[in-house]
Amino acid sequence: MIQISGLKKYFRTRDGRVEALRGIDLEVAEGEFCVLLGPSGCGKTTTLRCVAGLERADAGEIRISGAVVSSSARGVQVPAEKRDIGMVFQSYAIWPHMNVFQNVAFPLIRGRRQVPRRLVAEKVRRALSLVQLEHMESRPATDLSGGQQQRVAMARAVVTEPQILLMDEPLSNLDARLREQMRLELKKITSSVGVTTLYVTHDQAEALSLGDKVCVMHEGEILQIGTPREVYARPDNLFVAQFVGEMNFVPGRVTGAGQVDSPLGQVRCHVPPRCEPGSELTLAIRPERLTLKHELNDGSDGVKGTVISKNYVGDAALFEVQVRDVILRIKLPGDSDFAIGNQVAVVVPADHWRVYTGS
Ligand SMILES: Nc1ncnc2c1ncn2[C@@H]1O[C@H](COP(=O)(O)OP(=O)(O)OP(=O)(O)O)[C@@H](O)[C@H]1O
Ligand SMILES: [Mg+2]
């Protein structure tokens, strides 16, 4: 288990002080796979490095399995090599002058968790079979593909059977197909080992597919923590709504209880209690929640628009439809027969809207 509370970290640079972490509170349960998701510079790597002991926090506390490993108030800073952690970096950082076996054996021979020689081979082979590289023991590290190097890095991180696994964008150097394959592998490996994992990415698809829990970060803060479904279905604020998945945003003005006037006409939705009639809001809805019809037959539940683009992607088709001064993105099944220039009715559902104050 990892418990982080009130974690702050500043860096001094020539341009002044950078507040990299502004008070991070996070708990990762035993065996849980937790993803830190956020744009470049939001503090993901800094958080991971503080947990690893590679960075000293300016405030707050970190506990691993209940034991304080970092506390600025108490002056505690357990050195990295004394924390029971495996780490995989974006660059893999495997040693080019060693073969696969030697790379994976390294933490067992040199690290703090040294094991008797006779156990080394057994542990290395177990780690390599976990990542399906058991047949490549004697291959020089330089003769491996990107995906294989990535697996070696994984095997090396888990060979000591650490309590905690930290991974910083470990898949970002791989091509799209391999990345998807490795994503599935990675999930299998970590859940079969049952290790508590903190995983960093700026790729929202990766975060949603891997995480038991996703933490969306922005400018040194966590804006939302939830299951992938919660974060996707109910983003707490505009930043999360924009950053995770595709979203349509429509400006609106409250006209009454549960009623908002918008370029799509009157939308029925949940208006926050503090919003008086006349207050401005932003309405948000996912592209897959909107549908199209060829025409308005009864005028009850649709607004007129024009198809301005179509992007066929096989199993789905993504449309852009101009409705007054708003362009809506709409995701339909791949065999939908709407074409550019068609006059259509956008069916606007009453539920599934998220409502945000501000714009
Ligand atoms: N050693 C350092 N010295 C000065 N500033 C730093 C240092 N390391 C990080 N920062 C700053 O702290 C902030 C957080 O950086 P961090 O590396 O944690 O971001 P990140 O979320 O991992 O981004 P990326 O997705 O680009 O890797 C950034 O503004 C960064 O410029
Ligand atoms: Mg980073």
Strand order in the sheet with 221-226: 85-88, 164-168, 196-201, 33-37, 213-218, 221-226
- Residues 209-266 have pLDDT tens digits of 999 999 999 999 999 999 999 999 999 999 999 999 999 999 999 998 888 999 988 8
**Alpha-carbon distances, residue 355 vs 264, 296, 358 (angstroms):** 15, 26, 10
Span from the CA of 4 to the centroid of ligand 1 (angstroms): 19
- Residue 295, pLDDT > 80, answer no
Q: Which of 283, 303, 285 has its CA nearest to residue 293?
A: 303
Q: Which atom of ligand 1 is nearest to the CA of 90?
A: 27
Please report which residue ranges of the chain form alpha helices under DSSP H: 44-52, 100-110, 117-130, 146-158, 176-193, 204-210, 228-233, 238-243
| Structural domains in the chain plus CATH codes | 2-243 (3.40.50.300), 248-357 (2.40.50.140)
3 state SS of 150? helix
Residue 52 tokens read as 């690893």
Q: Which residues line ligand 1 (CB under 6 A)?
A: 11, 13, 18, 20, 38, 40-46, 202
CA of 118 to the centre of ligand 1 (A): 42
Ligand number nearest CA of 55 is 1
pLDDT digits (tens, 9 = 90+) for 68-83: 999 999 999 999 988 9
Q: What is the pLDDT of residue 146?
A: 80
| Closest ligand by atom to 89 CA | 2
Question: Is this structure's pTM higher than 0.85?
Answer: yes
Give yes or no for a contact between 141 and 149, defined as CB atoms under 8 angstroms apart.
Answer: yes
The answer to whether residues 347 and 301 touch, using CB atoms and an 8 Å cutoff, is yes
How far is the CA of 110 from the CAs of 73, 113, 114, 305, in angstroms? Answer: 32, 8, 6, 66
State which of 14, 36, 45, 221 you would mutate to test the pocket of ligand 1, scoring each by most atoms of that ligand within 8 A of its C-beta.
Answer: 45
pLDDT digits (tens, 9 = 90+) for 311-358: 999 999 999 999 999 999 999 999 999 999 999 999 888 788 999 986
Q: Flag whether pLDDT at 299 surpasses 70.
A: no
Distance 184 CA to ligand 2 centre (A): 22
